[in-house]
């Protein structure tokens, strides 16, 4: 748990994260049977938004391979509708950089099905992902968000992330140059409730 009043990067105060709960949503580790639902959520973002810089939709086999390669601290978690069992969203941690000195930092990914957005699903996924990062002994979690992704940036800010920089025009999708907002959450101190 994170304690209020902690100091983040560059000495700025980080507000405590509040942890919303919704009994109609279950957060659990992803299983191979979730691959098709995850693929549909992700491919919508590939073909319709700039939330990912991927340009080619994943096949079911691609998604199954991706899931099978993820384990431990880098496992995928899903938000599932308790009544229907449908996957509403998914998230995962990935290594931040390949070089050994970066091993204590990770990058997050969070995707929520379009019709489930605005219900707090992303926040539940992100809070659980941060818990996983703490339990796994990581020091920092980074989010690389398309700079115009206001909802994602606001979600990360509500969960204790701070903007640490903008990478200008680093990607091109839908015939436009895209910039990336780099946000960071330092996990080295126990903090209050999220």
Average confidence score pLDDT of the chain: 88
What pLDDT shows up at residue 16?
41
Please write the tens of the pLDDT for every residue from 118-148.
Answer: 999 999 999 999 999 999 999 999 999 999 9
Residue ranges per structural domain of the chain: 6-186
Between 125 and 18, the higher pLDDT residue = 125
Confidence of residue 106 (pLDDT cuts 50, 70, 90): very high
Please write the tens of the pLDDT for every residue from 21-54.
Answer: 678 999 999 999 999 999 999 999 999 999 999 9
**Residue 56 pLDDT > 50:** yes
Please tell me the distance from the alpha carbon of residue 121 to that of residue 53, in angstroms, as a whole number.
Answer: 22
pTM equals 0.85
**Residue 170 pLDDT > 70:** yes
Confidence of residue 20 (pLDDT cuts 50, 70, 90): low
Please write the tens of the pLDDT for every residue from 93-105.
Answer: 999 999 999 999 9
Rounded mean pLDDT of 8-12? Answer: 37
Rounded mean pLDDT of 169-183? Answer: 98
Q: Considering the domain delimited by 6-186, tell me its CATH architecture.
A: 3-Layer(aba) Sandwich (3.40)
- Which H, E and C letters describe the chain, residue by residue? CECCCEECHHHCEECCCCCCCCCCEEEEECCHHHHHHHHHHHHHHHHHCCCCCCCCCCCHHHHHHHHHCCCHHHCEEEEEECCCCCEEEEEEEEECCCCHHHCCEEEEEEEECHHHCCCCHHHHHHHHHHHHHHHCCCCEEEEEEECCCHHHHHHHHHCCCEEEEEEEEEEEECCEEEEEEEEEEECCCCECCC
């Amino acid at each position: 748990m994170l304690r209020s009043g902690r100091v983040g990067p560059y000495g700025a105060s980080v507000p405590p994260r509040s942890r919303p709960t919704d009994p109609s949503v279950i957060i659990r580790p992803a299983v191979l049977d979730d691959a098709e639902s995850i693929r549909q959520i992700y491919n919508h973002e590939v073909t319709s938004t700039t939330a990912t810089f991927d340009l080619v939709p994943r096949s079911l086999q691609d998604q199954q391979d991706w899931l099978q390669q993820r384990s431990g601290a880098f496992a995928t978690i899903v938000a599932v509708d308790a009544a229907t069992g449908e996957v509403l969203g998914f998230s995962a941690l990935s290594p931040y950089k390949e070089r050994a000195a970066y091993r204590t930092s990770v990058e997050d990914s969070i995707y929520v099905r379009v019709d489930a957005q605005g219900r707090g699903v992303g926040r539940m996924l992100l809070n659980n992902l941060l818990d996983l990062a703490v339990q796994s002994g990581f020091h920092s979690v980074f989010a690389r968000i398309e700079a115009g992704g206001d909802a994602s940036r606001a979600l990360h800010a509500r969960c204790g992330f701070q903007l640490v920089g903008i990478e200008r025009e680093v990607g091109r999708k839908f015939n436009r140059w895209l910039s990336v907002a780099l946000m960071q959450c330092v996990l080295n101190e126990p903090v209050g409730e999220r």
